[in-house]
Amino acid sequence: MSSKFTEGVVAESKRSYIHKLASEGTRIDGRDFDEVRPIKIKTGFIQRADGSALVELGDTKVLVGVKIEPGEPFPDTPDMGIMTTNVELVPLASPTFEPGPPSEEAIELARVVDRGIRESHTIDMEKLVIEEGEKVWVVFIDMHVLDYHGNLFDACGIAALAALNNATVPAERFGFGDDFKLPIMHYPVPVTFAKIGEWIVADPNLDEESIASARLTVTTNEEEKVNAMQKGLFGTFTYEEVKKSINRSMSIGKQVRKIILGDENGKEN
Amino acid sequence: MMGMKSDIRLIDDNGLRIDGRLPNQLRPIKMEVGVVKRADGSAYIEWGGNKIIAAVYGPREAYPKHVQESDRAIVRARYNMAAFSVDERKRPGPDRRSVELSKVISEALTSAIFVEKFPRTAIDVYIEVLQADAGTRVAGITVASLALADAGIPMRDLIVGCAAGKVDDVVVLDLNKEEDNFGQADVPMAILPRTGEIALLQMDGDLTYDELTNAMEMAMDAAKKIYNMEIETLKAKYGGDVNEQ
């Protein structure tokens, strides 16, 4: 194990190198500032799940499984289904992930993905009622990080949307009529930015993430509505930087959405 | 947003809100510093129906040792809601929401503090929500910033939180509980008013670009007013000009 000291020295030389590249308009892996790493999506990877997607965002790999089961509705929303999200940062995915109860990183990650899906009304919850006030469908979105090379927010958000878009409500299994496709109304896509010196790059890789001063995730849907934002890390953003990031998220999100939906229709990827 | 459906009208025919405010009007705010004698610094805020107390301990040696950073202090904010702070009793202890809020508040406070002056130490900031009325995280970060100043911890600026959002299709400042429960969007922010830097930013709901920028501008303008209240509160205890170098 390397000591904190050597990590610090490595981080410092990496920091100045990445800053120098940014000042020249490029990145450590040669991408443009708004260029997202290659995205590969394999839906239906887990047959036992009701919907699933294995997503690669560059070298980052995330598997999302959706399970749908009957359950009791919340008392204040008797006429709506329920969704829950969870992220497991399993120790096989990175030397820095540890076993045990969810870390604050995992909780934040799950909640930011959750907000994008919930607030955009991705799932038509009103169609998930079996018997009003008594029984509704509960959608469990479980995200398993399998290889961590930066930007889990976007990888998880993409994989969750792809898995939901691929999901079937298993009504037959529980004796509630015919199976039906999980009703999807919107397609929220998160785009995360990292601030490196005075430059802001989309979809940071692990090296960029490790030296970034601040992070901003902006989730937008296909109607160019903003559904979720989350700023992180110790640095700050100016208002101008935030406004630009929102616009950049909309145009990058559009391209990413095409890839997610293209895969579903068998056209792309 | 709780996403609850309701027939409650949040904006009336005169364009006034459920508590009689205009769209860009803050709720009443009262602040006080030095309320916990045992702490190194402390403060109390009443913001609408919110009642929140904050106390600071440190900089002190960070334990356990592996959390120490050799070149800076770590800032550990803990946002906690009392069981009796909300209508339905909240189970005591951290839940997923408070873990997330503690994280983003810690990060935002770190951006304002000269953490490099105190290597290997921890600055612990305890934020206790005694009564909640929407906007607790932004009120919490505001009162935490006062407590840090009261503790004499060097900062680049005071930090000020404020939220804006959308209810009944109108962009409004500083949502109250009903507006938070039944509204369409919430944008909590915290800024360093001197430079206008954004230290905390979250958003949930459904907003167009114009609505979102409108909300952010409303929150940032209001933050400057709250900043002046913070300065007056510190002056009342310590006198002089807090911006003096």
Q: Which of the four pLDDT bands, split at 50, 70 and 90, describes residue B112?
A: very high
Q: Rounded distance, CA A17 to CA A28, Å?
A: 8
Q: Do the interacting molecules here have an ipTM over 0.95?
A: no
Q: E strands, A72-161, where?
A: 82-88, 129-131, 135-147
Instruction: Measure B29 CA to nearest chain A CA, in Å.
Output: 25
Taking alpha carbons only, the member of A139, A120, A115 closest to residue A128 is A139
Q: Rounded distance, CA A88 to CA A142, Å?
A: 8
Q: Which two tokens stand for residue A101?
A: 């109860």
CATH code assigned at B95: 3.30.230.70
- Predicted local distance difference test score (pLDDT) of residue A269: 40
Q: Rounded distance, CA A29 to CA A34, Å?
A: 13
Asked if A107's CB is within 8 angstroms of B99's CB, the reply is yes
B1, B4, B97 ranked by CB distance to A76: nearest: B4
- Please list every residue in chain B whose beta carbon sits closer than 8 Å to the beta carbon of residue A11: none
Q: Which two tokens stand for residue B185?
A: 């969007």
| A232 has a chain B CB within 8 A of its CB | yes
Whether A134 and A79 have beta carbons less than 8 Å apart is answered as no
Q: Rounded distance, CA A188 to CA A225, Å?
A: 9
Asked if A243's CB is within 8 angstroms of B70's CB, the reply is no
B104, B107, B206 ranked by CB distance to A225: nearest: B206
Residue type for B236, please?
A
A176: number of Cβ within 10 Å: 15
B11 located within any domain = no
Domain that residue B96 falls in: 29-236
How confident is the prediction for chain B on average, in pLDDT? 95
B7 located within any domain = no
Q: Which two tokens stand for residue A189?
A: 């896509």
B23 located within any domain = no
Taking only the tens place, the pLDDT of each residue in B24-60 is: 999 999 999 999 999 999 999 999 999 999 999 999 9
Taking only the tens place, the pLDDT of each residue in B188-200 is: 999 999 999 999 9
| Structure-derived torsion over alpha carbons of residues A250, A256, A259, A261, reported in degrees to the nearest 10 | -50
- Please list every residue in chain A whose beta carbon sits closer than 8 Å to the beta carbon of residue B209: 224, 226, 246-247, 250
| B214 has a chain A CB within 8 A of its CB | no
| A193 has a chain B CB within 8 A of its CB | no
Taking only the tens place, the pLDDT of each residue in B205-225 is: 999 999 999 999 999 999 999
Taking alpha carbons only, the member of B24, B29, B46 closest to residue B216 is B24
Where does residue A21 rank: exposed (0-12), middle (13-18), buried (19+ CB within 10 A)?
middle
| B65 has a chain A CB within 8 A of its CB | no
B241 located within any domain = no
The parts of chain A modelled with pLDDT lower than 50 are 1-4, 263-269
Taking only the tens place, the pLDDT of each residue in A141-198 is: 999 999 999 999 999 999 999 999 999 999 999 999 999 999 999 999 999 999 999 9
Q: Rounded distance, CA A68 to CA A48, Å?
A: 11
Task: Summarize the confidence of residues B5-31 as an average pLDDT.
Answer: 91
Asked if B100's CB is within 8 angstroms of A104's CB, the reply is yes
Whole-angstrom CA distances from B88 to A55, B83, B132 are: 40, 9, 11
Asked if B103's CB is within 8 angstroms of A238's CB, the reply is no
Q: Which two tokens stand for residue B198?
A: 């954004």
Q: Which two tokens stand for residue A82?
A: 């329920």
B243 located within any domain = no
- Among B86, B200, B206, most A C-beta atoms within 10 A, so best to mutate, is B206
Kindly tell me if the per-residue pLDDT of B243 is higher than 90. Answer: no
In chain B, how many domains are there? 1
**Is the Cα dihedral B31, B34, B36, B40 positive or negative?**
positive
- Please list every residue in chain A whose beta carbon sits closer than 8 Å to the beta carbon of residue B141: none
Whole-angstrom CA distances from B54 to B41, B57, B135, B141, B184 are: 8, 10, 15, 9, 30
B33 located within any domain = yes
B67 located within any domain = yes
- Percent of chain A with pLDDT strictly greater than 90: 91
Taking alpha carbons only, the member of A63, A139, A105 closest to residue B96 is A105
Chain A: residue whose CA lies nearest to B206: A227
B245 located within any domain = no
Chain A: residue whose CA lies nearest to B105: A232
